[in-house]
């Protein structure tokens, strides 16, 4: 039972950007703070940009910031957006021909209820709820520490 690493990293990235809301954040920076590959982050930033969650500024001193207020980023809507596959089991996918009992089976119904219940909790929270009291080490400090290792 797992969310994709795409969702996991998207959530962490948005939390970091939300905390550093007085400036643009770079992919390099997030990559160093969370030890996530830049390639993976580029895809995530692109998707979050498409969804309006991030606004990117191109150029040498470019970067990205939140595309909307943290309190307006609902976690349920966000995770539905970042998860490309909400078929908890194979037979949620109606094009799947591998199950001969699909028409009478009550398993999908129960799991659908459980999934709805999972998202109901997320629907009740927004990004702003996650960052209260959260602080990251200053990015420059991290770089200095790295050099001293």
Whose Cβ is closer to its own copies: residue 24's or residue 123's? Answer: 123
| Positions in the binding site for its own copies (CB under 8 A) | 1-5, 7-8, 11-12, 15, 33-36, 75, 79, 83, 85-91, 98-101, 104-107, 110-111, 113-115, 117-122, 125, 129-137
For the stretch 40-48, contacts whose Cβ atoms lie closer than 8 Å and that sit 24 or more positions apart, written own/partner, are 40/5, 40/6, 40/9, 41/9, 41/13, 43/6, 44/6, 44/9, 44/10, 44/13, 45/13, 47/6, 47/10, 47/81, 47/82, 48/10, 48/13, 48/14, 48/82
CB of 60 to its own copies, least distance (A): 27
Whose Cβ is closer to its own copies: residue 22's or residue 101's? Answer: 101
CB of 23 to its own copies, least distance (A): 18
Whose Cβ is closer to its own copies: residue 59's or residue 135's? Answer: 135
Instruction: Read off the tokens for 132.
Output: 């209260």
């Amino acid at each position: 039972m797992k969310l994709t690493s795409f969702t996991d990293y998207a959530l962490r990235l948005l939390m970091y950007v939300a905390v550093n809301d007085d400036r643009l954040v770079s992919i390099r920076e997030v990559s160093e703070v969370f030890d996530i590959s830049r390639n993976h982050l580029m895809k995530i930033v692109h998707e979050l940009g498409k969804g309006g969650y991030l606004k990117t500024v191109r150029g040498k001193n470019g970067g990205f910031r939140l595309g909307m207020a943290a309190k307006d980023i609902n976690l349920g809507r966000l995770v539905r957006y970042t998860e490309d596959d909400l078929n908890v089991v194979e037979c949620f996918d109606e094009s799947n021909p591998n199950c001969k009992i699909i028409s009478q089976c009550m398993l999908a119904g129960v799991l659908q209820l459980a999934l709805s219940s999972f998202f109901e909790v997320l629907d009740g929270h927004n990004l702003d709820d996650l960052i209260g009291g959260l602080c990251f080490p200053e990015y420059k400090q991290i770089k200095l520490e790295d050099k001293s290792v």
